[in-house]
Structure 1
Amino acid sequence: MDTPIPEPPPRHTAARQWLLAAALLTVGLLPTAVVGAGLLTVCLLWGPDWAPLAPLLLFWFGITGAVARDRGPLPGRAVHPGDEPELAALVRDVADRLGFRAPLLVRIVPVVQASLGTARVSGVRTHVLFLGLPLLRTLTEAELASVVAHELAHHRHVNSRRATLLRYARSRLADRLDAPFRPLAPLAAPLLRASQPDFWQAETAADTDAARIAGTDATAAALRRTVRLHAVFEGLGEPWLSDLAERDAWPEDFYDALETALADPHVAHRAALAAADEDTIDPYAAADHPPEPVRLAALPALPGTGTYGGSPVPLRNAAEITRWCVHRLALQDGEDENDVEAVRLLDLPADELRGLDDDSPTARLFKATGHDTPEAAVTAALDTLADGTWRGLARRLEPGLRRVPRAVRAHVARTVWTAAVASALAEVLETSGWTAATRWTDTVLTSPDRRTVDLRELLAEAVTATDPTAPRALLPSTEETPA
């Protein structure tokens, strides 16, 4: 058995963490305090005798409602050691190597998730490890051991009351900054930025502990694979589920299709770019996890003390668990699978499969540019890039851009502009003999002379350089005829 890994010294003193938590909570409660004070004043001046109790009653109902929600059923499907002995043995082995002695339950959830929570089971405070089925199906034993080790070690690094309070305060304040109107931003941003290093240090320390158990190679591979799997789940999986739900259908091979898509190099590359974009969009330093490159660079070179296999952990009830997870994702509460049509994504024609991810960006480009043909709309969009008015076109495509924080508005505008123009440009090129290079997306095309071009990436580079030359060269009217 390994020696338990000691906790590293905290970056900030305990007093500073307490002060940061108090300041974050105070700023986060300002709107509630202002509204409560206003309501109390109105009640005192114009309300009946019992009116001053109204704000207190509202506060009480809010607290009891939050407690009731916290006491709801645990998410996910319970894993009993007798049903899944291999998974239970791996989790217990990692816990033993870390010296994690607390009661620990394992539950499988349908999404890309790995986290550790707490719950009271028969009056006993118990830790609950949530593992996403996509991770269990995709990661090798060594990579999964790294993920489990990270979560258990991370809990040890942020298990103090002050760290728990600081995380809670950061989360509440960050949630308030998601609203379109953000009067707290000038006060919140410096506090979030000041408290972020504590959590980044805890993440990299947990990564180091994971590398001690599973090895650096497995830890790095697990991190890369998890990040890309999450991006594919959001970028392809969620649109599939949404589109099929509108058709009263559900994808019975959802996870098979997700894994097949991730194996496509074009999808994997697009997922890596999407993950990098997500790391970039953090205007208020609200992210508790460092970007992937930072975490990878911080990993020490360690061989690992555990011995784990190079294939996924076998699940003895894999079919039953998979079906349960798909039902949780695709079916409404109380809805039976016989009430909706079962669809196999991998059996759909490629055009129909790509159409599941179509949110009509070309139609929005038509409306924003005032043109009704793809070629004219693309030409007009590229003209805005040439004359510097492309941000205005992005705002017409997505009016909500005006409410995006200024620090990341240009980045989000580029994404909006690129997505719409890429879709229309793909339609133009397909009429000129270009074909889809993959069955998963319609904006990666192969030219008649066998060149493969990711239109979104090409257009994003054009926006960055404010030079439409490269995408214009693809248009039929300017493209050179291949020899």
Structure 2
Amino acid sequence: MGAFTRALRALVLLAGFYLVGLVLLALLGLGDWALVTSGHHGIGVIRLQILSVVLAVPLVRGLALVRTPRGEGPHGVELTPEAQPRLWELVRALAEAAGTRAPARILLTADVNAAVSERTRLLGLVPGPRELYLGLPLLQGLTEAQLRGVLAHELGHYAHADTRLSGITARVRGQVARTVAHLRGEAGEGKTEKRNVLHRLLAKLYTGYGTFVLRVTLQDARRQEYAADRLAARLAGRTATASALRELPALETSFAFYLDAYALAGSDQGLLPPRGEVFGGYGRLLDARQLELVGLRAELPHESSSPYDSHPPLAARVRRIEELPDDGRTDEGGAAAFALLEAPLETLAALEDAVLKAPPSGTWARAADWPDLLTRSMDARLGDQDAPLPRALVREKGTAGLPTLLSVIEAGELWELARHLPASAETRAAKGRARQTMLRPLLRVQLHRMVLADFSVRGRLRWEFSWEGPHAAVLTGERGAPLEEGAESRDEGGPALEHAIEAALADRPDTGPLRALCALGGGPHTPKDGLV
């Protein structure tokens, strides 16, 4: 199907949206006219007329939204030609090779993604300024050759007029979505207005039409992705393009892990890494964990994330590219794509300023370095009294310290205490040993946390930062010496602590090993009931 035919079909779908609304309004109008001319009067007739007006209002509002609101788009930092000449030279050269206009702006974002947009007019029939969105994690995780494949794919959407003609289809989707929102009573900003059964039925009608639109246009969207992949393989090479796609799941998984375990580990306390390191540290993680990424590259998703996903399954895209004839381009552009950026430290800092929202306190604090961030964030987490097990102890015993918990275990009251812990309906319904088996993993985690908190408040816990693997929680005794030399169980406190916790939670609990371990970590200011 050609571009003109796709555009014409999209216009028909858009007209169908308005036709549905006009038919519904006509039916409401005919109903009112029939009531007026029937000669019937009374409160019942008035209520029916009021109901028809109430139903008509969201329909009219939906039809009146002729102009699609301009979205803000992704937050990021504009990379100007003057500031980033090498990146712009690459983009312009690829655009020329693709036979299309280069974008007017390049925006660096914090997403594991690249995308293009075009501000068209007249439902996308008149071209307009173009923008390219480029995720920093792609620059950090891809080679220059792989980045060329990603950029060539996005420019392929320009070359095939996808960004212009898709505007009409996007208008249909947007109109249906906004009308459904009105009918459902979604007032925006998380507010919801009450709607009656008829409103919800009308919303289902428009949702059905929207589903029909998606099904009709889905295959076109997937063909566009395959076509852009073929152009990318021609411009950047088959191997580089396929390997770039293979990198995406690995980068998505590792970047999400990095933000949670490293960059934003102290965000609850309003604490960030040193300036420029919020996103800069991701490159360090990638360098340190290359072996872990190998498996992620090999395992590609064979299904789309949604049946209405506009992109084909990643595995199918990679297979089609790798089935193309060998072009011999296997050893070019091996340098890191990140090297294309001029003044990278300033760019990283600027991206932080653009995408990070202010914490509740109003301003971010900065750690001195990564180990300092780890220590301060973990100490704050351990000092949080709102964990499930401490809450249960306060409720039952009035205090939440580790000595209190050990006394509860020794008195045989642990499983009675555990009824206050959050649990699934299945766990709450279970009895006896089955219930204990279901609750034991949660108790193990909570007890481990309380032991670390007890050592932390006494100054007997040291955190060792690592890019290569989990951070290590090291329990210390006199003069800061580790209680277990050479312990390999990182972030668990060592095998002795694991054994002590297992003994305390056994069917026949034994708190002796745990009390002995805590005694080894005693200090001159050991509190009677350690904080949690």
Q: How high is the TM-score relative to the length of structure 1?
A: 0.59
Q: Deviations over 1:105-140 (max 9, x none)?
A: 3222233231111248xx993211111222223221
Where in structure 2 are the equivalents of 1:222-301 lying within 5 Å? 222-234=244-256, 236-237=258-259, 244-251=266-273, 252=275, 253-262=277-286, 263-264=288-289, 268=293, 276=301, 281-282=305-306, 285-299=307-321, 300-301=324-325
1:420-442 deviation per Cα after TM superposition (whole angstroms, max 9, x unaligned): 9987776689999xxx9932799
The code of the aligned residue for 1:148 comes to: L
Give the Cα separation in 1 of the matches to 2:263 and 2:175: 29
Q: SS of the residue aligned with 1:144?
A: helix
Q: Deviations over 1:20-71 (max 9, x none)?
A: 73488469x869978x979x98999569xxx99987995698556x54x45x
Alignment of 1:286-365 (within 5 A): 286-299=308-321, 300-303=324-327, 308-312=333-337, 313-332=339-358, 339-343=363-367, 346-348=370-372, 363=388
| TM-aligned CA deviation for residue 264 of structure 1 | 3.0
Corresponding pairs, count: 395
- Listed one character per residue, the Cα deviations across residues 64-90 of structure 1 (whole Å, up to 9, x for unaligned) are 6x54x45x6985322222321211111
Report 1:72-471 matches (<5 A).
Answer: 75-101=75-101, 104-119=104-119, 125-159=128-162, 162-170=165-173, 183=204, 188-189=210-211, 191-234=213-256, 236-237=258-259, 244-251=266-273, 252=275, 253-262=277-286, 263-264=288-289, 268=293, 276=301, 281-282=305-306, 285-299=307-321, 300-303=324-327, 308-312=333-337, 313-332=339-358, 339-343=363-367, 346-348=370-372, 363=388, 372=418, 438-439=469-470
CA change 1:267–1:361 in 2 (3 A) is: farther
Q: Is the 8 A contact 1:250 1:331 kept in 2?
A: no
Conservation of the 8 A alpha-carbon contact between 1:44 and 1:52: no
Q: 8 Å contact 1:24–1:169 — kept in the other structure?
A: no
List runs of 5+ in structure 1 lacking aligned partners: 1-8, 385-416, 443-447, 453-474, 479-483
Secondary structure in 2 matching 1:125: coil
CA distance in 1, matches of 2:101, 2:28: 47
Q: Secondary structure at the match of 1:21?
A: helix
Cα deviation code 1:206-233 (max 9, x no counterpart): 1121111112221122112233323344
CA RMSD of aligned residues (A): 6.1
In 1, are the aligned partners of 2:143 and 2:336 still within 8 Å (CA)? yes
Q: Which amino acid aligns with 2:370?
A: L
Range that drifts further, 148-157 or 295-304: 295-304
Pick the structure with greater CA Rg.
2
Opposite residue 77 of structure 1, the aligned amino acid is V
Shift of 1:289: 1.1
User: In 2 relative to 1, CA 350–124 (structure 1 residues): closer, same or farther, beyond 3 Å?
Assistant: same
Aligned match of 2:395: none
Distance 1:266 1:86 in 2: 31
Describe the shift of the 1:376–1:200 C-alpha distance in structure 2 as closer, same or farther (beyond 3 A).
closer
Q: Deviations over 1:133-175 (max 9, x none)?
A: 2222322111111111000102333538654322443466679
Cα distance change of structure 1 residues 73 and 225 upon mapping to structure 2, 3 Å threshold: closer
Q: Is the 8 A contact 2:246 2:298 kept in 1?
A: no
Q: Amino acid of the residue matched to residue 152 of structure 2?
A: A
Structure 1 residue identity aligned to 2:282: L
> 1:258 corresponds to which letter in structure 2?
Y
Please state how far the C-alpha of 1:246 moved relative to its aligned partner. Answer: 3.8
- Residues 317, 247 of structure 1: CA spacing in aligned structure 2 closer, same or farther, 3 A cutoff? same
1:183 maps to a residue whose letter is K
Uncovered stretches (5+) of structure 2, i.e. residues with no partner: 33-45, 121-125, 187-191, 193-199, 393-414, 431-437, 452-465, 474-485, 491-504, 509-532
Change (3 A) 1:377 1:424: farther
Q: Distance in 2 between matches of 1:340 and 1:142?
A: 37
Residue type at the aligned position of 2:129: T
